[in-house]
């Protein structure tokens, strides 16, 4: 029988390590435990919250309801074609372990997404992305369970409405479904994307001209470890803000005032401006506010030296947003899920 605990502390379940509590808490390891948890919530009129690795959330309040910590595991190859392979992973699998599995089994495509923290089930929620690759590039479908009806539903790539760090699960269906498994369409031959960031240059520096998938993920690991704080050493939730997308006309005006302003093309009419650069320009990179600060090596990451409260985090978030708005007229929006 599923163990449901009352008044459970959540501090160790999120990488930002902010103190919080859940009215009810359960760790689930298979479908029958999930259905039991859903039934408990229904019978006791409790809302349900899902947590994977807790690497993209800020808990600001007590969770009034049942918090499900997802540990459902399993990976299987569903179908093999000549050029593509469908692989289904249960949502409680650790994302990086899953990427390692694909590399070991010569299934290609996910290399650039190596070392993103958290679980497979959270990956479609914000359409995880890194170094020019997004989950949607290899997404096939996902299975989810509706909290209200308990019924299973298949979501295609169109149903998920993926965007930049965005999907229907952050909007219309926020908190409505439990993502049970994710199926990806991977390649039987390598098609590495090495022209983004410093991956290509790092491989050449190492004298590697024809990289294997292992070379690529090792290089990604080295680059990430040199830039990003390890959340298990210095608590953080990765990029706190999204890079704002602006239309070209506005960008051209900004460039007249700030000729050094960096950008990445998004479409013929839009560019993305690195939020980390904006935060640095307003003087908030590395500046301490009690136990919290925007990280000195990557200003987009909010770090907690230890003991920070949700209020201290939210105060810094508000300061950053206000300063960027005042100087550049741009609105930053949070990438992290604030619950």
Ligand X SMILES: Cc1cc2nc3c(=O)[nH]c(=O)nc-3n(C[C@H](O)[C@H](O)[C@H](O)COP(=O)(O)OP(=O)(O)OC[C@H]3O[C@@H](n4cnc5c(N)ncnc54)[C@H](O)[C@@H]3O)c2cc1C
Q: Where are the alpha helices (DSSP H) in the chain?
A: 31-43, 95-104, 157-160, 199-205, 213-227, 248-257, 275-281, 310-328
- Quote the CA–CA distance of 337 and 63 in Å, as a whole number: 14
Task: Give the range of 104-112, 183-191, 213-221, 232-240 binding ligand X by CB under 6 A.
Answer: 232-240
Two tokens at 60? 């600001």
Helix (H, G, I), strand (E, B) or coil at 297: coil
Nearer residue to ligand X within complex by CB, 122 or 271: 122
Assess 228 for contact with ligand X (CB under 6 A).
Answer: yes
Q: Which residue has the tokens 């959540």?
A: 10
Nearer residue to ligand X within complex by CB, 119 or 243: 119
Assess 179 for contact with ligand X (CB under 6 A).
Answer: yes
- Quote the CA–CA distance of 272 and 246 in Å, as a whole number: 6
Burial class (CB in 10 A: 0-12, 13-18, 19+), 45: exposed
Assess 231 for contact with ligand X (CB under 6 A).
Answer: yes
Q: What angle do CA 245, 246, 251 make, to 5 degrees?
A: 135
DSSP per-residue letters across 216-227: HHHHHHHHHHHH
Length of the chain: 339
- Quote the CA–CA distance of 231 and 18 in Å, as a whole number: 12
Nearest-approach distance from CB 250 to ligand X, in angstroms: 25
Assess 178 for contact with ligand X (CB under 6 A).
Answer: yes
Task: Give the range of 200-208, 230-238, 246-254, 278-286 binding ligand X by CB under 6 A.
Answer: 230-238
Residues 53-72 touching ligand X, rule: CB under 6 A, are 53-57, 70
Which residues participate in catalysis according to the annotation?
Answer: 165, 239, 335
Binding mask 108-147 vs ligand X (x if CB under 6 A, - otherwise)? --------xxxx-xxx-xx-xxx-----------------
Task: Give the range of 44-52, 149-157, 208-216, 252-260 binding ligand X by CB under 6 A.
Answer: 44-52
Burial class (CB in 10 A: 0-12, 13-18, 19+), 205: exposed
Task: Give the range of 33-41, 154-162, 231-239, 271-279 binding ligand X by CB under 6 A.
Answer: 231-239
Assess 183 for contact with ligand X (CB under 6 A).
Answer: no
Nearer residue to ligand X within complex by CB, 123 or 186: 123
293 pairs with which residues across the strands?
288, 303
Nearest-approach distance from CB 236 to ligand X, in angstroms: 5
Binding site for ligand X (CB under 6 A): 15, 50-57, 70, 91, 116-119, 121-123, 125-126, 128-130, 169, 177-179, 228, 231, 236-238, 337
């Amino acid at each position: 029988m599923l163990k449901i605990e009352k008044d459970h502390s959540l501090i160790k379940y999120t990488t930002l390590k902010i103190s919080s509590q859940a009215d009810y808490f359960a760790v689930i390891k298979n479908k029958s435990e999930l259905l039991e948890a859903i039934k408990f919530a229904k019978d006791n009129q409790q809302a349900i919250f899902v947590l994977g690795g807790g690497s993209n959330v800020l808990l600001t309040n007590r969770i009034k309801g049942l918090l499900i910590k997802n540990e459902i595991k399993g990976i299987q190859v569903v179908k093999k074609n000549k050029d593509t392979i469908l692989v289904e992973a249960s949502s409680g699998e650790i994302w990086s372990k899953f990427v390692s599995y694909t590399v070991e089994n010569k299934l290609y495509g996910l290399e650039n997404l190596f070392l993103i923290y958290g679980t497979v089930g959270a990956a479609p929620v914000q359409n995880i992305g890194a170094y020019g690759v997004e989950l949607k590039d290899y997404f096939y479908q996902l299975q989810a369970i509706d909290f209200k009806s308990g019924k299973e539903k298949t979501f295609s790539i169109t149903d998920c409405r993926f965007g930049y760090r965005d999907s229907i699960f952050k909007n219309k269906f926020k908190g409505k479904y439990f993502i049970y498994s994710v199926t990806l369409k991977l390649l039987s031959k390598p098609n590495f994307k090495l022209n983004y960031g410093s991956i290509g240059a790092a491989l050449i520096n190492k004298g590697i001209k024809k990289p294997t998938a292992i070379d690529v993920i090792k290089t990604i690991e080295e680059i990430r470890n040199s830039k990003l704080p390890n959340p298990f050493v210095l608590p953080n939730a990765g990029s706190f803000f999204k890079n704002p997308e602006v239309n070209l006309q506005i960008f051209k005006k900004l460039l007249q005032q700030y000729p050094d302003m960096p950008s990445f093309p998004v479409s013929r009419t839009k560019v993305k401006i690195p939020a980390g650069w904006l935060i640095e320009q307003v003087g908030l990179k590395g500046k301490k506010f009690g136990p919290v600060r925007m990280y000195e090596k990557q200003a987009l990451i909010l770090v907690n030296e230890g003991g920070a409260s949700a209020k201290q985090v939210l105060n810094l978030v508000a300061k950053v947003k206000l300063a960027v708005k005042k100087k550049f007229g741009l609105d930053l929006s949070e990438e992290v899920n604030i619950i």
